[in-house]
Structure 1
Amino acid sequence: MCNRPDCGRGEIDGQNFCGACDREPLAQDHATAAVAVPQPVRGVGIGVTSVRPDPWYGLGLVDSAPGPSPGPDAPDLPPPSADPLAEEHRYCAACGQPVGRGRDGAPGRTEGYCAACGHWFDFARPHGLTIADRYDVEGVLGSGAFGAAYLAHDRNLATHVVLKALNRSVAKTALHERDVLIGLRHDSIVRILGFEDEGPHLVLEYVPGVPLAAVDGDRPETLLAHGVRILQALDYLHARGLLHCDVKPLNIVRFREQSPSGAQDRVRLIDFGAVRRQREEGPIVAYTTAYAPPPGDPERLCPTPGFDLYCLGVTLLEVCRARWTDRSAPGIDSLNLLLERATDTERPWRRFVSARQFGEQLSGVIRQVVAAPPASRQVARPSALFGSMTEPLHGGLGAARPMDHWVRARPGEDATLTMQAPFASPPPGDIIDALPAPLSDPDAPDVAGSTRRALAESRSALRKRSPDFAERALAAAGLPDWHWLHAWYSGLIALAREDARSATSAFTTVRTSVPGELVPQLALGLCAELQGDLAAARSHYGAVFDTTPALGAAGFGLARIHLLAGERTRAVGTAVRLAQEFRYEREAQVAAVRLSVMPLGGPAHPAPTVDDRERAEAGLADLDVDRAAEAALRAEIRYADFLHDRDRERLSYAIRELGPHASTEPEYVALVDLANRLRPPLRWRRAGRRGGTGRSRRGGAAGTLSSRYAE
C-alpha cells in the first residue's frame, strides 16, 4: 500500500508507483516527516455536501496546438553566453564563499584562487570547463539566486543537460534535499536527473524553449492554460512539503513538444535552486524581489504555499496585462479580479491558500474566455462552491399569461386592452429561494460546528422571510467580514429587506473573491434588474448565459432585458437558444412565442411585425401544452394581430375561447363579458324604398344587424 499521508490506499505496481496517486511511495525516513505537511482542511459546512471537483478542467477547454513562434529567425532557446559570469553569482565551487568580487570601484578577478580554501576558480571561460569529469560546459544559460546555470554536454548520456550550481545557504542543505528533488516526476516540472557533490550541482533536463511570455497571435486562454499547468506543478510540489520560492517568467520555459497528434504548446517549471521544505523555519533568503510578496508580508516571514501562489499571480499579471486590457471583453474582467485577489498585498488573508483553490477559479475564468468567438465553447459543470440551481426565474415569460390578466383586462374605446404587465422581474423572495446554497469550501480555514449551524439557521430564516433573525444567526457564525460566505449571506439578507443596492454591494464582494464562479454574476444581474439598471443587468446576464446556458435564469433575464430595450428579435433569439437546454425546453419555447408578440407600448417598443406574428403561430403549433395554455397563448397572438389589422371579431372570439378554462364562474362571466364588449360595433342599415320591399313599422325593426354576433 502507498505510505503517503494524502493517499494511503493505492497498491504499488511493478515499477514502484502507486496505482491511485501515480507517485512513488515515500522513503521510510521521509514518510514520517511528510505527515507534518499541511493538508487542505474542511471549511464551512451548511448542510450541503462538500465537493472537490477537478480544479484543472480549464485545460480541456483550450486548444493544445503549438503557440505562435517567437520569430521566424529566432531559435527556441537563446544561445548560452560565453561572457564572464556576473560578479554577484561568483562563488567558490568548493566552499561556497564569494569570490571574484570587485573592490573600491575596480572589477573583480574572473579567475584565481579562493581566499577561504584555496580552490581555483575560472569564470572567464566557462566554455571548456568540465564538471565531475563528465559534464562539458558549453556556456552560461543564466544566473539565479544561488548561482549560475550552465548548458553542458553529458558524456555518459550523450545529450545536453543543465547544471544548476547551488551556493550560499542551499549548499548547506543540498545533501538533505537531493533525494527529494531527484524523486520529482511531473509533466510540468523540469526533470531533475541527478546530483553532483562537486559544486554542488543539480543536473537537470535541458528544455529548449523560451521564457513564458505572450507573443503575437496568442489568445488569453492559451496563456491562462499555462498558468493552470504551473499550478498543477505547484500542487505536486506542495503535496510533498516543498516550496519552489522563485516562480517567475524566466523560470517557466515555454516550448514545443512533439506528440503522436502533432506539436503541442507546453511549459515547464525550472530552476529549483531556491527550493525549501515547508516545515523549514525562518524567512526566505533567496527570491526574486519583483515577484515575491513585499517586505513585512506574512509569507516573507513564515512562507507557506501561498508564497509560490503569489509569485505565480504576479507572473500571470505581467504576462497578460500588456495585451488584454479591455475589461468588457468576455472573461477579462474576471481575469483582472482573479489576479487582484492572487496579488493582494493590502489584505494578504484574501489570497489563495492552495494551488487547487487558485486553479479552480482560473479554470472558471478560462471557461468564460473561451465562450466567446473564435472558440465559442460553452461548458456546464457543477460548481465547486455552490449547489445546483434548477429554478429558471423566468418572471412570467415561461408560462402563458395568467387567466387573471384577461379577467381584469379593460378595453378602451378603440378596443385596446389595459392589462397587467406581461412579465416582471423576479421578486426578491423568489430570488432568495432560487439562488443555490453555498457548499463547504475545501480550502477555507476550518470552522467550528457552531458556525456551520449558525449559517444553516440563517438560511432557514431567509426561507421563512425573517431577515432580522437571519442577520443575528449570521453574526453568531463568527465569519470575518471579508470572507465570501459572510458577504453571500449578507446579500441574501439585503434582498429579504428588498434593499437591492446593499445586496449588490455584498454580491460584488463575493464576485471579487471567486471570479471564476458564475452564480455571483447571476445574482448581480438579478439585483441590477430589480434596480432598473438594464445595462448592468445585460452585462451580467450575458456573461453567464454565454458561458453556460445551463443557468437558465440568466437566459430568461437576458431575454427580458432585450425586450425592455426594444430588441424583440434578440429577445426571441435568446429564448430559442435557451430552448436547446432540455431542462428549460418547454418554458423557453413558450417564452419565444410570447416574446414574439407581446406589446409593451411606447415609441421605444414597436408593435410586433407580420414576421413576428407568423413566427409565434409556427411556434405555438409545435408546442406541447395543455388546452388552457394554448388558448391563452393564442389569445395573446390574436391581440397582436388586432393591433395590426384592428379585427375585433377575431380578438373577441379568442377571448371567448378562454372561458371554458376559467376556474370559477365569476371568471367565466368576466371573460364572456369582455368578449362581448370587444365585438365589432353594431351598424344598422335601413332598407331602401327603391327596388325594395321595406317593412311596415308594425312588421318589426326597420333595420338589420350587420354583425355575426347580432342575436
Structure 2
Amino acid sequence: MPLCNRPDCGRGEIDEDGFCPECDRRPLRRRRPVPRASAAGPAHGVSVGVAQVRPDPWYGLGLIDADHAPEPPDERPAPAGPVAEEHRFCLNPVCARPVGRGHDGEPGRTAGFCARCGTRFDFAQLQGLTIAGRYDVERLLDSGAYGTAYLVHDRNLETRVVLKALHRSVARTARHERDVLVGLRHDSIVRILGYEPEGPHLVLEYVPGAPLCAREDDRLETLLGHGLRILQALDYLHARGLLHCDVKPLNIIRFREEGSAGSARPLDRVRLIDFGAVRSQEEAGPVVAYTKAYAPPEGDPEHLGPTPGFDLYGLGRTLEEVCGPYGTERAAPGVDSLMLLIERATDTAVPQRRFVSARQFGEQLSGVVRQIVAAPPTARQVARPSALFGPMTEPLHGGLGAARPLGHWVRAAAGDTWPTMPAPFSCPGPRHIAAALPTPLSDPDDPRVGDPAGTALAESRLALRRGDTTRAARALARSELPDWHWLHAWYSGLLALAREDVPRAVRHFTEVRRSLPGELIPQLALGLCAEVLDDREVARSHYGTVFDTTPALGAAGFGLARVHLLAARRAEAVATAERLTQEFRYEREARVAAVRLLITVPGAPPVRRPEEGDLARARAALDGLHADDAVTAALRAEIQYAAFLGTHDGLPLSDAVRELGAHASTEQEYMALVDLANRLRPLLEWRWPRRSGRTGHSRIGPKPDTLRS
C-alpha cells in the first residue's frame, strides 16, 4: 500500500478509500517542479518557493490559555401545556404537513385530524410522549422547516440523547444524514448513536450546551479558538468530499467537557451539529437548504457550484456575529487584523478573494490569535516561520546597529565650525527595503499560481535585485495574476519601492495586508514605508505589532527604536534595543544600538541631550560589549561627543578622537583626525621665560600636539 506523502504525516498507509489513517487526509497530488530558467530567465536558486502543504495551520490553539468552561445549561423540565403552534406537524411522515395552526386571529386546535391525510394529532401535552417505545420526550430542543429535535431519555441506554425527526423528504434526508454521520469521527463534530425507522428519527449524542455566542467574561482569543476548532472539523469534512452548507452559531454548540481524572478544570469546547443540509462536493445543482444570513448572496458562484468556500463564508459570518462587540476597538492588539480577516472571508465584491480551504483560513486565523496573545496580560511571543514568505535576515537597522563611520569624524574635521556631525542613523532607503523584503512562497491553495506564473514572478524578483524595473514589470505582467491577488500586489509594491514611489507601494502593501491579516511581513513593509514618509505614528503602530508578536523579525525592532527616539522617547527606544539583544541573530547589532540610543541626539528638538545617567549607562554597556578595538574606539568617541555637547570640555573628546586615529585607513584620514584632536584641545595660557633686564610676556594659544598611533 502507498504511504502518505504529507510532510506533517508521512507514515500512514493509504486505505482503500484513499485516506491516510494517521492524519485522516488524502495524499498530496504530485506537482511538477518549476523548471529551471534559461539564460533569459531567472538564475538557479532565485524562484518562487512552493509550499506543498500548510504545516499545522491550527497552531493558534496552542497559544490560548485554558479558559474557564461555561456552566451547564439550566435544564428545567418543559412547561406544562400544549406544544407551540410553530412546532405542530402531522405525525404521518409521508405527509408532515403543518397542523393545529391558528388563522384569522384565532388559536389553532391542539387536537384533531390532519386535513390532508386524516392522521390524528394531539399536542395538548409534550411531556409523557414516548417515541418508538423507548424514547421518553423531556423537552423540545429546536424545530424548523426541515426537522424537529427533542431531548429524550433512552430507556435502553439509560442516558439522554437527541432524537431528530425531519419534516420534508423525511426518508431520503434522514438516511442521507445518517449515512454521512456514521462515517465521521471528529472531536468537533456531533456523533450519531443510532437510527429509528419509525418517523424516521436519527439518534444523536446529546451535547448539553448552548449555541456559540460571546459571554460577558470571554476573551477574544477564546472565541477565535472555537473558530479554529470548527475549521478543523470543516477541514476533516471537506477532505471527505462533503459540505455542511449550514454553518452558523445555532449549529455550533459550546459545551463543558469534563477533563480526565485528576484534571484541574473542565474544558471549553464546541461541536458542529445539524447535518440536515449536508451534500457531496460532486453533487450537481444549486444549494437548496441553507440559512440566508450565513450564506453567500444569491447569484454568487457558490450557489450554483458549491465548494468548501460555501462553509467558510458561513464561518466568516459566524465570527462576525460572535466577535462583533470586540470590533469597535480596532486599535486593540489584533482586532484590526481580525476585522480584515472577516472582510476577506465574507467578501462579496470580489468572491475570488475569499478563502478556498479551511487550512488557508486557519493559517490566517492562527496568525491573528498570535497577534492578540502577544499583548499584555498574556504577552506571549512566538517565532514561527511564515507559510507564505521566505526568511528575512537583513536587520535594516539604518546604521543604528553599527558604530558611527570614521568618515563622519573626518568630514567634521573639515568643517569651519565645531561640532558638526552627520545624522547618526537614518531610515533605510526604498531600494534597500525592496531588496531586503523576503521572497513570497506560492500559495498552496491557489491553483492560479502554477509553473508559468511562478517562473514569471521569479524573473521579476531577479530583475528587481538587478535594478531593472522595466524588465521586472514585464515579467510581473506575464504572470497573468489578477490585480487583487496578494502575490501581484506584493510584487507591485516591491516594484514601486524600487522606483522610489513609496505612496504607491503603500497602496499595494495595504492590499497584501487585507488578504493576509495574520501575516507579519506585510505589516513590516507598511511600517518601513510609513517611516520613509515620516509618518511616525503609523510606523510605530506597525512596528509595534510585529515586534510585540515576534521579536525575531529584527527589522521591526530596529525600526521601532528609531521611531521612539525621534519622538523623544529615549527610554522606550533603549528598552526596545535591549529586548532585541535576546535574539541571537541580532544580538551584536542590538547591543551596539542600545549604547548609541542612550547618547545619540538625532537632530532637531524634541529630542533632548542625554543626561548624565544615560552617559553612565552607555559607558557601562560599552565595557560589557566585548567588541573589537575599532568598534569600541568609535563608540567611546561617540559617548565623549555626547558629553561634550553638554559640558564643552574638549579634552576627553580629543583623547577619544586620538584613539580613532589608529584605525584610519588612509594617511589623509589620519591627518584629518590629527587636526581634529588638536582643535579640541583646550586653550592654555603659557609664558616666555624671564631674561635679565627684560620683562616677560605671555600669549594665549593651543598646546601643540599630534596623534600617536
- Normalised to the residue count of structure 1, the TM-score between the two structures is 0.90
Residue 695 of structure 1 corresponds to 691
Preserved CA contact (<8 Å) 1:89 1:143: no
Rounded to whole Å, the distance in 2 between the matches of 1:686 and 1:327 is 77
- 1:229-266: CA deviation from partner (whole Å, max 9, x where unpaired): 11111111111111112211121111111113321111
Map 1:539-554 to 2 at 5 A.
539-554=541-556
Q: Assess if the C-alpha contact under 8 Å between 1:96 and 1:171 holds in 2.
A: no
Residue aligning to 2:99: 100
Q: Quick check: 2:89–2:99 contact (8 Å CA) kept in 1? A: yes
> Please, which runs of 5 or more residues in structure 1 have no aligned partner?
24-33, 688-693
Which residue matches 1:600? 602
Match of 1:575 in 2: 577
Structure 1 counterpart of 2:526, from 524, 527, 530: 524
Contact 2:388 2:443 in 1 (8 A): yes
Q: Please name the residue that 1:47 is paired with.
A: 48
For residue 67 of structure 1, report the CA deviation from its aligned partner: 4.0
CA deviations over 1:441-497 (Å, ceiling 9, x no partner)? 111124442211111110011101111211111111100111000000000000000
Stretch deviating more after TM superposition (650-659 or 343-352): 343-352
Q: Residue by residue, what CA displacement relative to the aligned partner does 1:177-202 show, whole Å, maximum 9, x if unpaired?
A: 42331121111111121222222222
1:358 to 350, 361, 375: 361
Point out the more displaced range, 523-532 or 3-12: 3-12
Partner of 1:75: 73
**CA separation in 2, counterparts of 1:476 and 1:710?**
67
Instruction: Give the distance between the partners of 2:30 and 2:231, measured in 1 at CA.
Output: 15
- Letter aligned with residue 336 of structure 1: M
Question: Quick one: distance in 2 between partners of 1:326 and 1:357?
Answer: 26
- Residue pair 2:412, 2:418 contacting (<8 A) in 1 also: no
Match runs of 1:211-226 below 5 Å:
211-226=211-226
Q: Structure 1 residues 485 and 86, CA, compared in 2 at 3 Å: closer, same or farther?
A: farther
Which residue number corresponds to residue 344 of structure 1? 347
Aligned counterpart, 2:175: 175
Q: 2:300 aligns with which of 291, 297, 303?
A: 297
The residue aligned with 1:143 is 143
- SS in structure 2 at match of 1:20: coil
1:382 to 381, 385, 395: 385
1:429-508 counterparts in 2 under 5 A? 429-508=431-510
State the partner residue of 1:327: 330
Tell me the CA shift for residue 57 of structure 1. Answer: 0.4
Which sits farther off after the overlay, 85-94 or 321-330? 85-94
Of 547, 557, 560, which aligns to 1:558?
Answer: 560
In 2, the alpha carbon distance for the partners of 1:39 and 1:323 equals 40
Distance 1:673 1:382, change over 3 A: same
Which one of the candidate residues 263, 276, 279 is aligned to 2:279? Answer: 276
Distance in 1, matches of 2:79 and 2:363, equals 40
- SS in structure 2 at match of 1:683: strand
Q: Report the AA paired with residue 387 of structure 2.
A: A
Aligned amino acid, residue 698 of structure 2: G
How do 1:546-695 residues align onto structure 2 when only pairs under 5 Å count?
Answer: 546-685=548-687, 694-695=690-691
Q: 2:266 aligns with which of 259, 263, 266?
A: 263
Shift of 1:381: 0.3
Matched-pair contact (CA < 8 Å) for 2:333–2:545: yes
Distance 1:66 1:310, change over 3 A: same
> Is the 2:683–2:701 Cα contact (8 Å) retained in structure 1?
no
Counterparts of 1:110 and 1:43, CA distance in 2: 70
- SS across alignment from 2:237: helix
- Tell me which moved more, 490-499 or 212-221: 212-221
Over 3 Å counting, the alpha-carbon distance change for 1:475 and 1:208 in structure 2 is: same
- Offset at 1:99? 3.2
CA contact (8 A) 1:87 1:108 kept: no
CA distance in 1: counterparts of 2:120 and 2:2, whole angstroms: 47
Report if the CA contact (8 A) 1:241-1:277 is conserved.
yes
Asked if 2 retains the 8 angstrom alpha-carbon contact of 1:94 and 1:119, the reply is no
The worse-fitting range, judged by mean Cα deviation, of 595-604 and 113-122 is 113-122
Instruction: Establish whether residue 193 from structure 1 lines up as the match of residue 225 from structure 2.
Output: no
SS at match of 1:163: strand
Aligned to 1:630, what secondary structure does the other structure show?
Answer: helix
Report if the CA contact (8 A) 1:559-1:575 is conserved: yes
Structure 1 CA distance, aligned partners of 2:290 and 2:693?
114
Q: Which residue of 2 aligns with 1:31?
A: none
Report Cα offsets for 1:144-183 as digits up to 9, x if no partner: 4411110011111110001122232464243244233112
Q: Secondary structure at the match of 1:658?
A: helix
Alignment of 1:131 onto 2:117: no
Q: Deviations over 1:204-236 (max 9, x none)?
A: 111111211111211110111111111111111
Distance change >3 Å, CA 456–CA 169, structure 1 → 2: farther
State the identity %: 65
Distance, in Å, in 1 between the alignment partners of 2:607 and 2:574 is: 14
> RMSD of the TM alignment (CA)?
2.9
Change (3 A) 1:323 1:526: closer
Q: TM-score, normalised by structure 2?
A: 0.90
Task: Measure how far apart 1:397 and its partner are.
Answer: 0.6
Query: 1:403: how far off?
Result: 1.0
